[in-house]
Amino acid sequence: MPYIPHTDEEVQEMLAAIGAVSIDDLFDEIPDALRIDGLDRVPVGLEESAVSRLMQSRAATDTGSVSFIGAGAYEHYIPAAVWDVATRGEYYSAYTPYQAEASQGSLQLIYEYQSMMAALSGLDVSNASLYDGATAFAEACLMAVRANRKTKSRRVLTTRGVSPLYRAVANAIMAGQGIELVELPNRHGVVDIAALAEHAGEDYAAVAVQQPSFLGTLDDVDALCDWASANNSLLIGVCNPLSLAVLKPPGQWGTHGADIACGEGQPLGIPVSSGGPYFGYLVCRQPLVRQMPGRIVGRTVDLDGKPGFTLTLQAREQHIRRSKATSNICTNQGLMVTAATIYMALLGAEGLRRNAQACHHNTRRLAAGLSALPGVEQVFDTYFHEAVLRFDRPLEPVLDALADAGIFGGYPLGDAYPELGQCLLVCATEMRTADEIDAYVETLGRLLSDSRAA
Amino acid sequence: MHEPLIFEHSQPGRRAPGLSEARQSALNLPAAFLRGDVPALPEVSELQAVRHYTRLSQLNFSIDTHFYPLGSCTMKYNPKVCNQLAMLPGFTGRHPLGPASHGQGFLSCMYELQEMLAAVTGMAEVSLTPMAGAQGEFAGVAMIMAYHRARGDDARREIIVPDAAHGTNPATAIMCGCEVRELATGPDGDIDLEALRQAVGPQTAGIMLTNPSTLGVFERQIQEVARIVHEAGGLLYYDGANLNAILGRALPGAMGFDVIHMNLHKTFSTPHGGGGPGSGAVGVNQRLAPFLPVPVVGKEGDKYRWLTETDRPQSIGRLSAFMGNAGILLRAYIYMRLLGAEGMRRVADFATLNANYLMARLASAGFQLAYPRRRASHEFIVSVKDLTRETGVTAMDFAKALLDEGFHAPTTYFPLLVPECLLIEPTETESRQDLDAFVDAMVAIRQRAFQDPEAVKAAPLTMPVRRLDDVRAARQLDLAWPVEQSA
Amino acid sequence: MSETPDNLKYTSDHEWLRLEDDGTVSLGVTDHAQQALGDLVFVELPESGSQFTAGDACAVVESVKAASDVYCPLSGRVAAVNERLQDEPELVNASPYDDGWLVRVEPDEPAALEELMGAEAYGQFLAESED
Q: Which residues contact B101 (CB under 8 A, 6 or more apart)?
A: A400, A403
Task: For residue A67, give the amino acid letter.
Answer: S
Residues of C in contact with B473 (CB under 8 A): 64
With cut-offs at 50, 70 and 90, classify the pLDDT of residue B24.
low
Residue of C nearest to B413 (CA): C65
Q: Which of C41, C62, C84 to mutate to test the interface with B (most CBs of B within 10 A)?
A: C41
For residue A454, give Cα distances in angstroms to A391, A446, A451, B41, B310: 18, 12, 5, 56, 33
Residues of C in contact with B470 (CB under 8 A): 64
* B167, B110 contact by CB (below 8 A): no
- A430–B133 C-beta distance less than 8 A: no
Closest CA to A124 of B478, B43, B485: B478
Q: What is the pLDDT of residue C95?
A: 95
Same domain, A125 and A250: yes
Closest CA to B135 of B276, B269, B270: B276
Range of the domain at A355: 66-75+350-453
Within 10 angstroms of residue C35's Cβ, the number of other Cβ atoms is: 13
Mean pLDDT of the A153-178 span: 96
Tens-place pLDDT, residues B64-79: 999 999 999 999 999 9
Same domain, A327 and A431: no
Interface contacts (A, C; CB < 8 Å): 20
Residues of A with CB under 8 A from a CB of C: 149, 290, 314-316, 320-321, 324
Q: Is residue B395 part of a domain?
A: yes
Mean pLDDT of the B220-235 span: 97
Question: Higher model confidence: residue B23 or residue B438?
Answer: B438
- A315–C64 C-beta distance less than 8 A: yes
Same domain, B184 and B308: yes
The B368-369 sheet, strands edge to edge? B368-369, B380-383, B421-424, B411-412
Q: Is residue B484 part of a domain?
A: no
Residues of B in contact with C42 (CB under 8 A): 474-475
Q: Is residue A3 part of a domain?
A: no
With cut-offs at 50, 70 and 90, classify the pLDDT of residue B482.
confident
Neighbouring chains to B with at least 3 Cβ pairs closer than 8 Å: A, C
Q: What is the pLDDT of residue A453?
A: 58
Same domain, B402 and B444: yes
Q: What is the pLDDT of residue A317?
A: 84
Q: Is residue B128 part of a domain?
A: yes
Interface contacts (B, C; CB < 8 Å): 13
Q: Is residue B478 part of a domain?
A: no
Residue A89 region by backbone torsions, left for phi larger than 0, else alpha for psi between -120 and 50, else beta: alpha
Q: Is residue A113 part of a domain?
A: yes
DSSP state of A236: E
Q: Is residue B456 part of a domain?
A: yes
Answer whether residue A451 shows pLDDT above 80. no
Same domain, A303 and A436: no
The torsion angles phi and psi of A411, rounded to 5 degrees, stand at: -110, 120
Using CB atoms, pick whichever of A56, A289, A334 lies closest to residue B273: A334
Answer whether residue A428 shows pLDDT above 90. yes
Mean pLDDT of the B120-143 span: 97
- A320–C67 C-beta distance less than 8 A: yes
Answer whether residue B225 shows pLDDT above 70. yes
* B289, B263 contact by CB (below 8 A): no
How is chain C split into domains, by residue range?
A: 9-130
The torsion angles phi and psi of B183, rounded to 5 degrees, stand at: -120, 135
The reply to whether A255 touches chain B by the CB within 8 Å rule is: no
Same domain, B314 and B407: no
Which of B339, B354, B382 is the last residue before a domain boundary? B339
Answer whether residue A323 shows pLDDT above 90. no
With cut-offs at 50, 70 and 90, classify the pLDDT of residue B485.
very low
On whether ipTM exceeds 0.85, the answer is yes
* CATH number (domain holding residue B413): 3.90.1150.10
Using CB atoms, pick whichever of A63, A300, A317 lies closest to residue B468: A300
Q: Is residue A2 part of a domain?
A: no
Mean pLDDT of the A164-175 span: 97
The reply to whether C86 touches chain A by the CB within 8 Å rule is: no
Range of the domain at B181: 81-339
Task: For residue B486, give the amino acid letter.
Answer: S
Q: What is the pLDDT of residue A114?
A: 98
Residue of B nearest to A249 (CA): B35
Neighbouring chains to C with at least 3 Cβ pairs closer than 8 Å: A, B
Instruction: Determine the distance in angstroms separating the CA of B132 from the nearest CA of chain C, rounded to an integer.
Output: 24
Which of B339, B364, B390 is the last residue before a domain boundary? B339
- C44–A320 C-beta distance less than 8 A: no
* B176, B156 contact by CB (below 8 A): no
Same domain, B271 and B374: no
Enumerate the β-bridge partners of residue B204.
B158
Mean pLDDT of the A52-75 span: 96
Instruction: Determine the distance in angstroms separating the CA of C94 from the nearest CA of chain B, rounded to an integer.
Output: 15
Same domain, A173 and A234: yes
The reply to whether A31 touches chain B by the CB within 8 Å rule is: yes
Using CB atoms, pick whichever of A122, A322, A354 lies closest to residue B21: A354
Instruction: Tell me the pLDDT of chain A averaged across its residues.
Output: 95
With cut-offs at 50, 70 and 90, classify the pLDDT of residue B21.
confident
Helix axes A395-404, A434-453, angle to 10 degrees: 120
Closest CA to C3 of C103, C68, C97: C97
Count the domains in chain B: 2
Same domain, B334 and B358: no
Instruction: Determine the distance in angstroms separating the CA of C119 from the nearest CA of chain B, rounded to an integer.
Output: 29
Same domain, A155 and A114: yes
* B282, B136 contact by CB (below 8 A): yes
* CATH number (domain holding residue A189): 3.40.640.10
Same domain, A223 and A296: yes
> CA C69, CA A144: separation in Å to the nearest integer?
21
Same domain, A103 and A184: yes
> CA A388, CA A213: separation in Å to the nearest integer?
12
Label the pairing between strands A387-391 and A376-378.
antiparallel
Answer whether residue C1 shows pLDDT above 80. no
Q: What is the pLDDT of residue B296?
A: 97
> CA B400, CA B410: separation in Å to the nearest integer?
10
Residue of B nearest to C87 (CA): B475
Residue of B nearest to C86 (CA): B475
Closest CA to B69 of B322, B455, B441: B441
* B292, B146 contact by CB (below 8 A): no
Count the domains in chain A: 3
Q: Is residue A53 part of a domain?
A: yes
Neighbouring chains to A with at least 3 Cβ pairs closer than 8 Å: B, C
The reply to whether C68 touches chain A by the CB within 8 Å rule is: no
Residue A64 region by backbone torsions, left for phi larger than 0, else alpha for psi between -120 and 50, else beta: left
With cut-offs at 50, 70 and 90, classify the pLDDT of residue B487.
very low
* CATH number (domain holding residue B226): 3.40.640.10
The reply to whether C41 touches chain B by the CB within 8 Å rule is: yes
> CA A17, CA A31: separation in Å to the nearest integer?
24
Same domain, B245 and B300: yes
Q: Is residue B73 part of a domain?
A: no
* A328, B134 contact by CB (below 8 A): yes
* A400, A391 contact by CB (below 8 A): no
Q: Is residue B52 part of a domain?
A: no
With cut-offs at 50, 70 and 90, classify the pLDDT of residue B486.
very low
* B245, B212 contact by CB (below 8 A): yes
> CA C85, CA C94: separation in Å to the nearest integer?
12
Same domain, B253 and B315: yes
Answer whether residue A322 shows pLDDT above 50. yes
Same domain, A381 and A427: yes
With cut-offs at 50, 70 and 90, classify the pLDDT of residue B479.
very high
The reply to whether C44 touches chain A by the CB within 8 Å rule is: yes
With cut-offs at 50, 70 and 90, classify the pLDDT of residue C66.
confident
Q: What is the pLDDT of residue C129?
A: 78
Tens-place pLDDT, residues B60-116: 999 999 999 999 999 999 999 999 999 999 999 999 999 999 999 999 999 999 999
Q: What is the pLDDT of residue A318?
A: 82
Same domain, B320 and B263: yes
With cut-offs at 50, 70 and 90, classify the pLDDT of residue A233.
very high
Q: Is residue B191 part of a domain?
A: yes
Residues of C in contact with A315 (CB under 8 A): 41-42, 62-67
- C89–B470 C-beta distance less than 8 A: no
> CA A250, CA A259: separation in Å to the nearest integer?
8
Instruction: Determine the distance in angstroms separating the CA of C19 from the nearest CA of chain B, rounded to an integer.
Output: 31
Using CB atoms, pick whichever of B5, B399, B474 lies closest to residue A112: B5
Q: What is the pLDDT of residue A178?
A: 94
DSSP state of B167: T
Residue of B nearest to A14 (CA): B357
Q: Is the CA virtual torsion A344, A272, A142, B277 positive or negative?
A: negative
With cut-offs at 50, 70 and 90, classify the pLDDT of residue B23.
low
Question: Higher model confidence: residue C39 or residue B25?
Answer: C39
Answer whether residue C111 shows pLDDT above 90. no
- C42–A320 C-beta distance less than 8 A: no
> CA B461, CA B400: separation in Å to the nearest integer?
9
For residue C60, give Cα distances in angstroms to A150, A315, B355, C63, C85: 19, 11, 40, 10, 12
Closest CA to B8 of A269, A265, A120, A115: A115
Same domain, A71 and A52: no
Same domain, B243 and B102: yes
Same domain, A338 and A392: no
Mean pLDDT of the B123-134 span: 97
Which of B307, B339, B371 is the last residue before a domain boundary? B339
Q: C9-130 — its CATH code? A: 2.40.50.100
Within 10 angstroms of residue A197's Cβ, the number of other Cβ atoms is: 10
With cut-offs at 50, 70 and 90, classify the pLDDT of residue B483.
low
Q: Measured at the alpha carbon of residue B12, what is the angle toward residues B7 and B13, in degrees to the nearest 5?
A: 125
Q: Is residue A25 part of a domain?
A: yes
- C66–A314 C-beta distance less than 8 A: no
Same domain, B101 and B171: yes
Tens-place pLDDT, residues B287-314: 999 999 999 999 999 999 999 999 999 9
DSSP state of B409: P
Answer whether residue B330 shows pLDDT above 80. yes
Instruction: Determine the distance in angstroms separating the CA of B472 from the nearest CA of chain C, rounded to an integer.
Output: 8
Answer whether residue B280 shows pLDDT above 50. yes
The reply to whether C42 touches chain B by the CB within 8 Å rule is: yes
Same domain, A143 and A232: yes
Same domain, B256 and B359: no
Q: What is the pLDDT of residue C130?
A: 67
- C69–A315 C-beta distance less than 8 A: no
Tens-place pLDDT, residues A133-161: 999 999 999 999 999 988 999 999 999 99
> CA B379, CA B358: separation in Å to the nearest integer?
9
> CA B374, CA B3: separation in Å to the nearest integer?
47
Q: What percent of chain B has pLDDT over 90?
A: 92
